[in-house]
Chain A
């Protein structure tokens, strides 16, 4: 798979094939014909919705004007209102905590398991590694409802488990604990993703390095710190940046477990809640939802561009 991924990077910039000269003009038009559906598709189903989202954030839309179409242009007034919202900075902070905690634990756990499987060479390694992918492939609503039930305060499994040690039941999904609980579920969801990339990164480290190190008497622990981690740095950077972009926009796992109530409200669930008029909002607020969405988009793109730059640098 490593060859495949490196080729992905090079693909869009592949030089033109050496087609026979007289055919060139024909080839040119053929290329356009093959690509045109994709271009139209991207314009209609990516560019247009993005423009529409921006337009909605600059006009005052509500249920009435949404249907009648007479929403007045208000410039940046909605953005001003969003920034001035009493909860705005709290939500930005919660989004930051959710993202940082999710990334840190997903990475650490994913790396531990990847290293364990990588240095393994034991019989069950391959099938069990496959099993680890399951949570990643299931619909999030399936995992979300299951976690919600396990975190049920009086009949949930987590509290029964804590009870074995005499601990008091935890109100996992209450306003104060909601952020921790959705982060736990989200970490669980993200482990397979981290495991797979880090595992393929580990496979890219030349075996000779480890052989030379063990001949020099380096312990496995030293080998991990002196070889594995430094060699894995580029993959780590890519994993974390991509994870960051993905985690910023997470809605479903949070929404299904808590509807973004209490501390579990993030920019993404806030925008989603206002767009459907549920959760903390209770009323549909298209314009505010679009404005928060645009802020979220800008944040995701900022980190996304860093990711692209890092990826480019890695190839050269």
Chain B
């Protein structure tokens, strides 16, 4: 047994404390309505009823969130990947300024963006539409994706790109057949975060898509419960659990990409 084995139980306790709110959410979501206020530490009065409510009421919102998430990923990559290739390996006029603008863009408060976009969308008719929300959500992800992908693509060996050019490949061809496949990991990380941010968005959905009916994302499905006269904690927590599934799945199947993104996003420059 190693000398540091005693750290295992301490680390377990710390993790349990940190994740306790999430356990509590699960607990409430499985507890019968009349017993929720009792506050038992485990769902003694077990029920699936709240999940039945979720599947009855929330499926359209979940579908909308899925469409918005995928749409945001596609749009973000379509804009970010080619630009990153150019910024990383070609002489782009004003390239330094673009880099600076991307860092600054990440600091703009979402409230300011939502106010500006609201007024623009009001004029062009994008309020309460899916494309409008996808465009707005992509503003969270595009600067991050460009910075991440540029950093990665700058590390691709020059010889690889030059070899392609000597073989007569066009820039587009080099990009498609060499740069994109080589950058697979960074692309997955960008896509993953673009999806998670779009899935989690609250501010844009609650301002730009207020009257969107069923074409609103799941965050608004939960928000409906908060606004209700009589807060129904069971269905609310069950919806919260369901809304957490993408993050949980991604953490399990793609933890290395998540960790990469957090570090890059944190120390992004």
Contact = CB atoms under 8 A, between A and B. Distances in A.
Contact of B24 (A7, A134, A146): A146
Nearest to B14: A113
Interface stretch (A28-36, A82-90, A208-216, A220-228): A28-36
Main SS class of interface, B: helix
A23 B165 contact: yes
A53 B237 contact: no
A34 B86 contact: yes
Interface stretch (A98-106, A166-174, A300-308): A300-308
Contact of B200 (A120, A140, A249, A268): A140
B98 A37 contact: no
Contacts of B99: 11-13
Contact of A38 (B2, B21, B146, B206): B146
B148 A8 contact: yes
B163 interface: no
A32 B93 contact: yes
Main SS class of interface, A: helix
A56 B111 CA distance: 13
Interface string B119-143: 1101000000000000110110010
Contact of B237 (A116, A145, A297): A145
Contact of A134 (B19, B110, B136): B19
B180 interface: no
A1 B196 CA distance: 21
Contact of B108 (A46, A135, A157, A251): A46
Interface residues of A, number: 111
Contacts, number: 350
A134 B240 contact: no
Nearest to B185: A4
Interface of A: 1-5, 7-14, 16-20, 23, 27-28, 30-32, 34-35, 37-39, 41-42, 45-46, 48-53, 56, 66-67, 113, 116-117, 120-125, 128, 130-143, 145-150, 154-157, 160, 188, 191-193, 196-197, 200, 238-239, 242, 245, 248-249, 251-252, 255-256, 268, 271-272, 275-276, 286, 289-290, 293-294, 296-297, 300-301, 304, 308, 311
30 contacts: A7-B155, A8-B147, A11-B87, A28-B91, A30-B86, A30-B171, A31-B91, A34-B175, A38-B82, A45-B138, A116-B7, A133-B262, A138-B244, A141-B202, A145-B226, A146-B22, A149-B28, A150-B21, A155-B36, A196-B263, A196-B266, A197-B266, A197-B267, A252-B203, A272-B114, A275-B115, A276-B206, A289-B111, A293-B112, A308-B269
